Amino acid sequence: MSPATISVIITTYNRPDALTVVVEACYAQDDRDFEIIIADDGSGHNTQQAVAALQARAPVPLRHVWQEDLGFRAARARNLGTLDARGDYIIFLDGDCVPQRNFISRHRKLAQRGHLVQGSRILLSEQATARVLAQHLDLQRLGAAELLGWRAGGALNKVLPLLLPLPDLGRTSKRFTWRRIKSCNLAVWRSDLDLVNGFDESFQGWGHEDADLVVRLYNAGVMRKDGAYATEVFHLWHRENARDQETSNRALVMQRAADRTILAVKGLRA
């Protein structure tokens, strides 16, 4: 069953140049039946100005939800975006992940009740990212020869998924895997997010709030579907976030997997 309406929730924090590139790539989609919600984790005035400029030329509905900057609170930002969303299918995208032109249409084709779709990403080098942002390069226009050249020069960490997209066959599995859980490119039915109470805002600092969501969805009976070789985004380089709480966050996720936890402690319904 294809989703009637798709909501793309883009998380961002004080990186308006990257956000602009990502949103403009969304504007260029070959499927325009979607809306965009910018889920802002406390960015300053520069991001507000960038969003206003993007709204002025938006070919699809675009709204901006913002929360006070109290440290890394991506889980709450995504929940605020979800509460504002009007779609029955949510695609979470980070504000430094540039989608290909068929990103929405590919996700729409992969959408299946009782499943989430874990999308994939191509990593850009620091130098390539600086070039894209400085020159405002349209990554969607790169042809096969250019992509191969970028790969040979180390600008991309892989290129085959961009050149050889695969059909919707053999993507599902009933076994749980920790591999490639990333909320930077993740599609979930809104009803399934409601079922598990969304992201858990009780996670402190960076790390594993996305794995926690996927674990709880699995505990609730929602299976994973692999979006590799179909939904790739170009992930712009950035410095790693502080990982002070990573060990304790991971331990909590492992405990929830063992306990078969379903509901977020502090989520969509607080």
pLDDT tens track, the chain, 270 positions: 677 789 999 999 999 999 999 999 999 999 999 999 999 999 999 999 999 999 999 999 999 999 999 988 999 999 999 999 999 999 999 999 999 999 999 999 999 999 999 999 999 999 999 999 999 999 999 999 999 999 999 999 999 999 999 999 999 987 887 777 888 999 999 999 999 999 999 887 767 899 999 999 999 999 999 999 999 999 999 887 655 566 788 888 899 999 999 999 999 997
Integer Cα distance of 28 and 43 in angstroms: 25
Alpha helices in the chain (DSSP H): 16-27, 45-56, 74-84, 103-110, 126-135, 144-152, 160-163, 190-196, 209-219, 246-259
Reduced to 3 states (helix: H, G, I; strand: E, B; else coil), residue 233 is strand
pLDDT for 200: 95
Question: CB 70: neighbour CB atoms within 10 A?
Answer: 9
Closest alpha carbon to 187 in 107, 260, 252: 107
pLDDT, residue 252, reads: 87
CATH class of 6-259: alpha beta
- d(CA 93, CA 78) in angstroms, rounded, equals 10
pLDDT for position 232: 97
